[in-house]
């Protein structure tokens, strides 16, 4: 049984669309990994091929965030399909996590409280959060005292109140009606979805109300 790979199919599996495969091949040929007459390549060479292409090309979805964060001087190739983007994997949530991670590092933010959200959404936040973050995920349907909310507000760099989710007003008001300056840390969101929540935090950090 042949262990050779079709070169065009290999490039396609790495996110190179038909319009970009020619320059990828030219690069491989220049490195002596293949030549113009060959249509197949040994499967054993795949790791070397991937490394060689990764040094020259950035296979990204084309979003500004991904390009800015991951291109690092390499030639941009628009991933086909976008799920093969090496930075976000085509995931809106992952892209939002990456955006907030970048801004949080720039502003010295690492402690986040999220109030509300379904159990599944809170688990997704927990699973996707960078190791540098400390998260407190508050069940918006469970009883919470004013003292507990105040402790959260003092501890947190950001408090995200997820209004379009499973959230009781008695719980959300403990955070949204906090006295200044603690209220400057509170971000209220009226849309659902993990990506929307994370982008709201990003917008807050980039906005005039943020004072660090």
Per-residue pLDDT at 2: 56
- Answer yes or no: are the C-beta atoms of 167 and 161 closer than 8 Å: yes
Taking the C-alpha atoms of residue 121 and residue 56, their distance in angstroms, rounded to an integer, is 37
Per-residue pLDDT at 69: 79
Q: What is the pLDDT along the chain (212 residues), one digit of tens a residue?
A: 457 999 999 999 999 999 999 999 999 999 999 998 999 999 999 999 999 999 999 999 988 888 887 888 999 999 999 889 998 888 889 889 988 998 999 999 999 999 999 898 999 999 999 999 999 999 999 999 999 999 999 999 999 999 877 889 999 999 999 888 888 899 998 877 899 999 999 999 998 777 54
Global confidence as pTM: 0.71
- Which CATH number is correct for 92-206, 3.40.50, 1.10.10, 2.40.128, 3.40.1130? 3.40.50
Contacts of 210 by beta carbon, 8 Å cutoff, 6+ apart: 107, 184, 204
Taking the C-alpha atoms of residue 172 and residue 174, their distance in angstroms, rounded to an integer, is 5
Q: In terms of Cα–Cα distance, which of 184, 188, 198 is closest to 162?
A: 188
Q: Which residue has the tokens 């008001």?
A: 173
The full DSSP string for 60-98 is: E---HHHHHHH-TTSEEEE-SSGGG-TTTTT-HHHHHHH
**Residue 7 φ/ψ, nearest 5 degrees:** -65, -40
Cβ neighbours around 140 below 10 Å, total: 23
- Answer yes or no: are the C-beta atoms of 33 and 49 closer than 8 Å: yes
Taking the C-alpha atoms of residue 38 and residue 24, their distance in angstroms, rounded to an integer, is 14
Per-residue pLDDT at 212: 46
Cβ neighbours around 18 below 10 Å, total: 10
Domain boundaries, the chain: 4-84, 92-206
- Answer yes or no: are the C-beta atoms of 186 and 149 closer than 8 Å: no
Distance of CA 168 to the CA centre of its chain: 29
Strands (E), 93-176: 111-115, 134-138, 158-162
């Amino acid at each position: 049984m042949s262990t050779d790979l079709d070169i065009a199919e290999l490039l396609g599996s790495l996110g190179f669309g038909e319009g970009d495969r020619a320059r990828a091949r030219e690069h491989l040929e220049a490195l002596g990994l293949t030549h113009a007459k060959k249509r197949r390549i040994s499967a054993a060479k795949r790791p070397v091929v991937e490394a060689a292409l990764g040094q020259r090309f950035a296979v990204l979805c084309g979003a500004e965030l991904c390009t800015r964060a991951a291109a690092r001087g390499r030639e941009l190739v628009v991933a086909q399909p976008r799920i093969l983007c090496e930075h976000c994997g085509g995931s809106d949530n992952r892209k939002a996590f990456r955006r907030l991670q970048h801004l949080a590092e720039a502003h010295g933010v690492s402690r986040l409280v999220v109030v509300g959200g379904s159990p599944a959404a809170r688990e997704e936040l927990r699973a996707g959060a960078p190791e540098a973050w400390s998260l407190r995920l508050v069940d918006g349907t469970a009883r919470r005292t004013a003292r507990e909310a105040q402790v959260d507000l003092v501890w947190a760099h950001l408090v995200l109140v997820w209004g379009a989710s499973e959230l009781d007003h008695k719980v959300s008001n403990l955070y949204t009606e906090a006295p200044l300056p603690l209220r400057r840390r509170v971000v209220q969101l009226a849309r659902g979805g993990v990506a929307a929540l994370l982008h709201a935090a990003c917008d807050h950090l980039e906005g005039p109300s943020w004072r660090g």
